[in-house]
Amino acid sequence: MKKVKLITAGLLLLLAACNDSKKESDKPLVESSAVVTNDPVVYSFAFMGCNRVDSGDSSNASTANVLALQSIFNDVTDLADKPALFFLLGDVVLGETNTTDLNNQLSAWVAQYKDTKFSKISTSGIEIVAVPGNHEMLDGSEKPLKGSSDVWLKYMAPYMPADRKQIASTPNLDNRMTFSFVRNNVAFIVMNTDSYNPPTVQHRHGLEGIVPTDSILNLLNAFKANKAIEHIFVLGHKPYYVSGKSCTGHKGLPEGPVLWPAFNAAGVVAMLSAHEHDYQRWQLPANTGTYQIIAGNAGSQGEAKFFGYSVINILKSGKVQLVSRGFTKQKPYYRIPSPVNFTTRDSTILTWTKNTNPYPNYTSNKDCDLK
């Protein structure tokens, strides 16, 4: 979503709708089916995170919310515009204990994913991209878990792009799960937001929330300069903006104050995250520029009112459409309604200027754990 192209497209839309005081690109898409009819999808991808259950809430070896997961996988494969990619943004298993439990849970998760009786997604042709979360990377005290990266790669390496450009690791940081890749005219920067770092004298257990900031900044500059790239997305389990607040503690990204201005400078469309067990959409700090979208509503207990997943559609015009689909969360949370009815819960065009269609009726007084 390079700024020049968006500004040009916005002027053309304004001229075409001079009798309408509200630009078509800013209206909720559900109010304007003509946009879908006249502006077809040319590329799309889906994303979700946080499907694991709480301890003791499931006897399934994968520790996934299996009914929600199955329902999501079935719905996404039945979409008319089936996405080319599906990002799993972490916390797919309970983890946060030791590498033995992590190994067993991920092994069971992969076996379940491959089981065509469970879901047809493994044979759908959708490319799965797995991104680790804190429940896979950290121990129960939220400190780096030695060996967790090796266990993750043992099972999830097949669900990382074969053509990815991996950031080099250093003695102080394991960057094997931070990488970039390109599809069509869309560039993706995938961050492991809890990269393993060993204990030091200053931090005898290591630190959570660490990313290779300098390398990510270099990738942003390279994609910004690449004329073949029209849209840039950054993905990582932990977000920076949560409930309308910038978060640098456990809820968020410690390097957010450095990275977010760089996202805006590079024209990043959105940072796509999970971690918070909710669906949220923000355009902060000034209601313009890069979006923070949280899709941590895939089935874990939390504040989410609906469980589901979200889709980004790149339209023929170059506009970027966000659609979030889901079903109403039940009590207890690991049950599903019968029948499961997925509906569109949020839909908008991700405009670079202020989005006049904010996520509806969302307010929160939750404090952010700033350090």
39-58, pLDDT tens digit by residue? 999 999 999 999 999 999 98
368 occurs within a structural domain: no
What is the CATH classification number for the domain harbouring 237? 3.60.21.10
> CB-based burial of residue 322 (10 Å sphere; 0-12 exposed, 13-18 middle, 19+ buried)?
buried
pLDDT of residue 262: 98
Residues 152-175 have pLDDT tens digits of 999 999 999 999 999 999 999 999
| 306 or 5, higher pLDDT | 306
Res 34 pLDDT > 70: no
* Token reading at 193: 């937001």
> Does residue 294 contact residue 239 with C-beta atoms inside 8 Å?
yes
Residues 320-365 have pLDDT tens digits of 999 999 999 999 999 999 999 999 999 999 999 999 999 986 666 6
204 occurs within a structural domain: yes
pLDDT of residue 360: 80
Cα-Cα-Cα-Cα torsion 230, 236, 241, 246, nearest 10 degrees, comes to -110
27 occurs within a structural domain: no
Cα–Cα nearest to 87, from 49, 124, 114, 33: 49
339 occurs within a structural domain: yes
DSSP-derived letter for residue 344 is E
Res 11 pLDDT > 70: no
Res 250 pLDDT > 90: yes
20 occurs within a structural domain: no
pLDDT of residue 306: 98
Q: Which of 38-52, 235-249, 270-284, 357-371 has the lowest mean pLDDT?
A: 357-371
Q: Provide the CB-side half-sphere exposure for 228 (13 A, CA).
A: 5
294 occurs within a structural domain: yes
Res 6 pLDDT > 80: no
pLDDT band at 14 (very low <50, low <70, confident <90, very high): very low
> CB-based burial of residue 26 (10 Å sphere; 0-12 exposed, 13-18 middle, 19+ buried)?
middle
Give the span between the Cα atoms of 326 and 308, in whole angstroms. Answer: 4
Residue 245: domain span = 3-14+39-349
31 occurs within a structural domain: no
User: Domain tally for the chain?
Assistant: 1
21 occurs within a structural domain: no
pLDDT of residue 321: 98
DSSP-derived letter for residue 301 is S
